[in-house]
Amino acid sequence: MAYLAPHSVPLPAPVRIGLIGSGWMGAFHAESIAHRVPGAVLAAIADPNLESAEALAALLGTAHITANPDDILADPTIHAVIIASPARFHAGLITKAAAAGKHVFCEKPAAQDLAELDAALTAVEAAGVHFQIGFNRRYAADFQAAKQDLAAGIVGRPQLLRSLTRDPGSGSIAHAAKVPAWTIFLETLIHDFDTLNWFNEGAEPVEIHAVADALVEPGLRDQGFLDTAVVTVRYSNGAIAVAEANFSALYGYDVRGEVFGSKGMVQAGRATETAARRYTADGLGADTPRLNVELFRQAYTDELADFTAVVSSRRDGTPPPSSAFTLTPGAPDARRALACALACIDSVKQGKSVRVPQVATLQPTQIR
């Protein structure tokens, strides 16, 4: 019997992605696109620090680098951008990227106040591009398992929620004096606020009380530096949540979440790398992650895989990826979490509980 003639099924063209910002997080996202996200190509890197961009491009085999992100936005062969620049540039870059017809993945926060965020999201809606914010915890396996239980009603009506972030440290914080004001809310606890909002989906955060101090670096307290915070959030469905953060956990990087409800409880996250424990004459021990890219390595990859899949489906007119629960963090999620972070700042300044700024009803086109 003769062999049948071979036939091939054409693969979708890769999604060409430009990176804006080649710092710590941008470099890791670039590596993910280049090596770990099928269907994506790292097409170009933009950074005013050309030395940084050149080094990353050489490492990943990317031919095109520029000091000006406008060069990426003007390139008709690039479908989407990852914005990993300093936070103060995020809103402006989102607006320009949307106007150029580029789909946008942006690291948090998407803006530094609600007015500039609303302007950026209006541009996203007008352009009809896909927008995703980098709330990576949604893509961690244990957080997704918890969300699936919540979506299935296994825990019942949420009553008490908890989320915590303890960054690894050594008892002091290098370059603490250079950390921008309110970082603990705008760039750290903003992840916890998204987690809580996602876990308590359908309810709105309405009131916040925040307490913060410099307990790791008390010598910087008078300069306004904050390294420790506890936040209480009251939701429209009556649930009460607590979020906490600290910038120096000696034992490693610790991120956890919990929902207690009318039918039970679900937890996500742990302080150890695995469930393995060692028992020796020295006592009980376990390995702990020390970097965000260790703890959330797969989550960082999966969020970009989700972004790439949605961009590809829009370009090719194919069905978008589906999930048993709400997954992709979009424009309303970016705004809701930022509103919580800004309310924390107001609460600390006033020393009392404050109302959370109303979350806009803006629903950009096809945001899932």
pLDDT of residue 344: 97
Determine how many CB atoms are found less than 10 A away from the CB of residue 263: 10
Q: Does 362 score more than 50 pLDDT?
A: no
Confidence of residue 88 (pLDDT cuts 50, 70, 90): very high
Determine how many CB atoms are found less than 10 A away from the CB of residue 55: 15
**Mean pLDDT computed over every residue of the chain:** 93
User: What is the rounded CA–CA span in Å between residue 140 and residue 126?
Assistant: 32
Tell me what the mean pLDDT of segment 248-270 comes to. 96
Instruction: Describe the crossing of helices 90-99 and 114-127 by its angle, rounded to 10 degrees.
Output: 20
pLDDT of residue 289: 86
Confidence of residue 260 (pLDDT cuts 50, 70, 90): very high
Instruction: Express as a percent the part of the chain with pLDDT over 90.
Output: 85
Whole-model pTM: value is: 0.92
**Dihedral (Cα; 55, 56, 57, 58), 10-degree rounding:** 50
Confidence of residue 271 (pLDDT cuts 50, 70, 90): confident
Confidence of residue 365 (pLDDT cuts 50, 70, 90): very low
Confidence of residue 155 (pLDDT cuts 50, 70, 90): very high
Confidence of residue 5 (pLDDT cuts 50, 70, 90): low
Tell me what the mean pLDDT of segment 41-66 comes to. 96
H helices of the chain, in order, are 24-35, 50-60, 69-73, 90-99, 114-127, 141-151, 183, 190-199, 292-295, 297-316, 331-350
Q: Does 9 score more than 70 pLDDT?
A: no
- What does the buried/exposed string (b/e) look like for 159-180 if buried means 16 or more CB atoms within 10 Å of the residue's CB? bebbbbbbbbbeeebeebeebe
